[in-house]
Structure 1
């Protein structure tokens, strides 16, 4: 006898033609009666279910997004609650890995747009499960950019976010950052987050909380005036100041918000960030890899030539990139040791990190060993010919095959779009078009 591999079931299969529905919920229930149901779920429910209904959340989701008749919205998977007296209630659970009607997206790895430009979002909207932006992206790259904000149509952040929400629909999360987490009170920050929740709905909004390190309400003005350099080194933190972001993330979590914990550059940030119960964590890869490469080149040149100018270049890089303050006195030997330790930690000269993705690998391992099953990793800040292709290769490595569904790749839409093309696309299109038009 051949093994039975596939059985197609629906909720209607539980009852045959005599579906006993909760009358006042019938318009909602009919949306899911004929959607696919795994045989395993069917088998477990068939002996218990007598009546079918939906949860309050199911009703709220449908009413919030005004979904077409006989459909459930993208961005939700079906869940089931078995109650007393054989009542089965169907739920809609937020999960951006799903398209409409509880169908999984084409791939486990998800994509995200890193932009606030509605004109850039439109062509990629059906392909992304998330959008991430911050004040810099909203103001510098769009609202105040005359070329991007065509005709100065959008005047403020709220107008931009409302338009983005309309374009993306219910299927994509939208990560937005609070304007000033340093000088606003907790009450003011919650109020600002509430405005985003009202605008985008509780189902889509994710609040971005940045790591703050040594930057506090007392010294943040230093970044806004003069040489815009902080007088305090990045390691010179107070406990309250460095953990301000973590506690803000927990506060938002307690108020029902999902949190995108951002500005994560080094792997050692991850386990502590997870204590704040984030929905998203991040691996920023571009600038970190560029810094590593510049420092590594200087170090190698010094090792070959003994020219101390290379160590002075390292000093300038470390000051420029805020590893050192302008006033720190560090000897050339200390500079050399610092750089060697940094390169070693980042595995820049071995297979773990030669592609600049050691932090990604580490963060995936932390996710695997965490108790936060719904948290996902956003891989962000990429450029050049190899960042995305290297990530693409990493995600088919054997070690990470059971973690791919927890990965989101985010970049500017134009950067992602370039990897839909190769040189041979042109070659073959030349051949096909000439053949179609009767030319050699």
Structure 2
């Protein structure tokens, strides 16, 4: 038999609610408390109140009377004078009133389009965007930004914050991780915090690789090709993103450490103490398919043009930098090595999700209990279904609470439907309208 308890149960033991805090306490007074917890606390509790942090959360958001906002869990602390105080701790696994979301796996959207976010807002625990999403896909896209209503990034983010409410984190990316000083980056982060609140804002920090303040213009001018190999960065350049992430974390910001494609990036990324890490799956999978098909065609025909096609892809996708030469046998070897590393011929990675499996296993070996994995960059009819299947594999049953799945809202929406939905709706609607 389950015995139900709450803060109100303490009233029967002559414990008082602190008068000046009763309006706040009423928001959690009926929330369930384990009987064992009540029994353990009963001898020590003399009064019940809330923390200053609790008050700040309630005062920050427009929360209906008698409720606590989504995106927070309730924790209790017992003070030396016997005051038991409720606190609200940021946790996007929770819906309003301290109730957990329906599944441990959470959902996010890649969008900066308020019109697109509104229909999906009630299932989101996070929203992630970057300058490309904000400017290219929305502000500068007249089909999306209807009537050019939104002019600036700040206007867009403020509206998205209003739509989503307190329950979803909002990951916003630095405009320029290369040219700005630490002080300027903190100033930019502070503006986001002021706009979205300290509770929701997450700062996206990219891996920087060989790109630096001195070389970033190569990506912006001329043929926009880069002159330094992707696997030969200077130490300072390669760790620029890590150090920005650590600097932000030390200043109280949660960090979404982004642009993670290969599994070997993970352990080093975790040293930056991120709130989110990422597995980008789409482009990597597509490039692996090109390599696999090219190698198979070459093995069957010995026609070098198939290796030339792989080399062309290597140049286009920045495996090779501007002016870097690689003979065709080396191209073949490089492609074979990449496919082997990516387990593209076996269960571990034939679905393109070896990086996801790898990153989840790393969570078993971290001391970052609040960090989560965002699975992002999906495309086609199988990416999401394959991820869905992976997350119910026995090996990962204890890790799904660390996962956030993010995609464009329309991509997620397609997986709410299938052919039989239409077939059955045809039958139901005709029956409802009297068809014989």
Q: Which has the larger displacement, 130-139 or 7-16?
A: 7-16
> In structure 2, what is the Cα distance between the partners aligned to 1:64 and 1:201?
8
> In structure 2, what is the Cα distance between the partners aligned to 1:14 and 1:394?
45
SS at match of 1:370: coil
1:279 to 272, 275, 281: 275
Partner of 1:359: 355
Q: Which has the larger displacement, 240-249 or 16-25?
A: 16-25
1:209 to 194, 205, 208: 205
1:129 shift after superposition = 0.3
Partner of 2:343: 347
> In structure 1, what is the Cα distance between the partners aligned to 2:140 and 2:358?
37
Q: How does 1:4-403 map to 2 (within 5 A)?
A: 4=1, 6-16=2-12, 18-403=14-399
> In structure 1, what is the Cα distance between the partners aligned to 2:120 and 2:188?
28
SS at match of 1:377: strand
> In structure 1, what is the Cα distance between the partners aligned to 2:59 and 2:391?
37
1:326 shift after superposition = 3.2
> In structure 1, what is the Cα distance between the partners aligned to 2:415 and 2:150?
30
Kept in 1: contact 2:95–2:167 (CA 8 A): yes
Gaps in structure 1 of 5+ consecutive residues: none
Kept in 2: contact 1:81–1:88 (CA 8 A): yes
RMSD: 0.9
TM-score normalised by L of structure 2:
0.99
> In structure 1, what is the Cα distance between the partners aligned to 2:332 and 2:38?
64
Aligned residues: 436
Kept in 1: contact 2:110–2:129 (CA 8 A): yes
> In structure 1, what is the Cα distance between the partners aligned to 2:90 and 2:249?
16
Q: Deviations over 1:314-362 (max 9, x none)?
A: 1101001100023112121111111110000000110000000000000
1:64 shift after superposition = 0.5
Kept in 1: contact 2:54–2:86 (CA 8 A): yes
TM-score normalised by L of structure 1:
0.98
> In structure 1, what is the Cα distance between the partners aligned to 2:146 and 2:58?
34
Kept in 1: contact 2:120–2:409 (CA 8 A): yes
Kept in 2: contact 1:12–1:19 (CA 8 A): no
1:15 shift after superposition = 2.6
